[in-house]
């Protein structure tokens, strides 16, 4: 049985087996209750647990929440966009938004100083989130290291409700840094339901499936903790985009991703060097057509650069038939990327004064 390690490097390829193993339901069943969303439509967001509790609350006019975390681990790239688009979907649905910057976790598990984490969070995450449409004013954004006494204490009280064996079965070991990070994350996930934030309410956490262990143990803690009532959090799951060279998209390998702060020239060069499903010769390509499943550039288009399904279908058909060459596909991607990055980077700089002021009001170092 494959373990999923939130701190590891596991590549999830067999999503169906994983869903079955961990009781994750297909999100397609709830699609008509959700706003129209490219990622849901295309099965990129593919699974959920208890999302209906959130949708029921929305339908009843009750309050509900969305919570997600930022793990400051390098530049913000297209692989991070899936979560942000879900955040924006829940924002559109009227969820209370909670956004947590995991600086305690990056300190405890990645040896990053709180100061470096803070800078990374602002430059690489918050500016991009806001440029993409996050309404910071109606979001409970916080750094873990500044979450307040009660939040920290709650994470410590949760320790009574998890055993060392559960930790080891879930995370592989009971390393102190990991344990403290995990406990803090349970408090983060349950924060929208804390007594000072109105108490229990359906809460959805959009996560990569590698983060599911946190969700599962948080659900256990929510049901075991007796000092305040918490509902088990719901969750949604998305597929990971592969790296542009094939394999995993990784913050430590700049050629594997396009950052939202990449220059247009760099971004185009990465597309030029990306792994495609094109054949070795034009003749063979015209004859057999592209292997779209293998094509990282097509994946980028499908995930984030082509909104219209008909248009994507047309591209796919032409590419698969051999009528479109890899170079032509790449040219489409480069054009879209140029437009996207130019537009985004402008918005990003426009967001800077607001974000910096917001953070200055929220940030004080702990030593």
Residues that bind its own copies (CB under 8 A): 104, 107-109, 111, 113-114, 144-154, 156-157, 159-160, 162-164, 167, 173-177, 179-181, 183-184, 194-195, 227-228, 366-367
C-alpha radius of gyration, the chain, whole number = 21
Nearer to its own copies by Cβ, of 110 and 344: the residue is 110
User: Exposed, middle or buried, 52 (CB in 10 Å: 0-12/13-18/19+)?
Assistant: middle
Contact criterion met (CB below 8 Å) for 278 and 322? no
Please state the three-class secondary structure of 230-241 as a single string.
CCCCEEEEECCC
Nearer to its own copies by Cβ, of 77 and 178: the residue is 178
Shortest spacing between CB 194 and its own copies, in angstroms: 8
Nearer to its own copies by Cβ, of 111 and 137: the residue is 111
Nearer to its own copies by Cβ, of 147 and 341: the residue is 147
Shortest spacing between CB 35 and its own copies, in angstroms: 34
Shortest spacing between CB 362 and its own copies, in angstroms: 12
Nearer to its own copies by Cβ, of 230 and 319: the residue is 230
Nearer to its own copies by Cβ, of 200 and 208: the residue is 200
Shortest spacing between CB 145 and its own copies, in angstroms: 5
Helices (H), the chain: 15-22, 38-41, 51-60, 81-93, 103-110, 114-120, 127-132, 149-157, 164-171, 176-190, 212-224, 264-272, 282-288, 296-300, 309-321, 326-362
Shortest spacing between CB 175 and its own copies, in angstroms: 5
The rounded distance, in Å, linking the Cα atoms of 14 and 165 is 26
Tokens matching residue 195 = 């007594």
Shortest spacing between CB 120 and its own copies, in angstroms: 17
The angle subtended at Cα 186 by Cα 183 and Cα 192, nearest 5°, is 145
Residues in the chain: 367
The rounded distance, in Å, linking the Cα atoms of 189 and 67 is 6
Nearer to its own copies by Cβ, of 24 and 100: the residue is 100
Shortest spacing between CB 161 and its own copies, in angstroms: 9
Strands laid side by side in the 45-49 sheet = 25-26, 45-49, 234-238, 203-208, 65-70, 96-101, 139-143
């Amino acid at each position: 049985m494959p373990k999923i390690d939130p701190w590891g490097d596991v590549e999830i390829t067999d999503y169906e087996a994983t869903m079955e193993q961990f009781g994750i339901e297909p999100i397609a069943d709830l699609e008509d209750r959700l706003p129209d969303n490219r990622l849901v439509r295309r099965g990129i967001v593919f699974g959920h647990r208890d999302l209906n509790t959130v949708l029921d609350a929305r339908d009843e006019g009750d309050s509900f929440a969305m919570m997600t975390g930022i793990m400051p681990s390098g530049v913000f790239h297209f692989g991070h966009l899936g979560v942000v688009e879900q955040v924006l979907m829940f924002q559109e649905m009227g969820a209370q938004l909670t956004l947590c910057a995991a600086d305690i976790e990056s300190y405890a598990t990645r040896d990053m100083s709180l100061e470096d984490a803070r800078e990374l969070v602002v430059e690489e995450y918050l500016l991009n989130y806001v440029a993409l449409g996050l309404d910071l004013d109606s979001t409970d954004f916080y750094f873990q290291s500044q979450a307040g006494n009660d939040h920290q204490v709650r994470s410590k009280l949760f320790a009574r409700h998890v055993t060392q064996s559960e930790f080891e079965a879930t995370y592989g070991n009971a390393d102190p840094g990991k344990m403290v990070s995990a406990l803090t994350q349970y408090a983060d996930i349950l924060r929208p339901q804390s007594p000072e934030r109105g108490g229990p309410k359906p809460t959805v956490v959009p996560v990569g499936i590698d983060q599911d262990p946190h969700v599962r143990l948080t659900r256990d803690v929510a049901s075991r903790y007796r000092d305040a009532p918490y509902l088990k959090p719901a969750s949604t799951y998305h597929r990971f985009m592969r790296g542009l060279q094939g394999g995993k998209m990784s913050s430590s390998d700049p050629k594997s991703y396009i950052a939202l702060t990449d220059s247009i020239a760099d971004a185009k060069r990465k597309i030029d060097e990306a792994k495609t499903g094109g054949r070795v010769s034009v003749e063979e390509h015209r004859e057999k057509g592209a292997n779209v499943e293998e094509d990282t550039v097509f994946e980028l288009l499908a995930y984030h650069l082509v909104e219209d399904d008909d248009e994507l279908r047309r591209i796919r058909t032409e590419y698969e038939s051999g009528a479109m060459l890899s170079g032509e596909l790449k040219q489409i991607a480069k054009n879209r990327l140029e437009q996207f990055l130019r537009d985004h980077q402008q918005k990003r700089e426009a967001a800077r004064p607001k974000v910096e002021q917001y953070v200055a009001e929220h940030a004080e170092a702990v030593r």
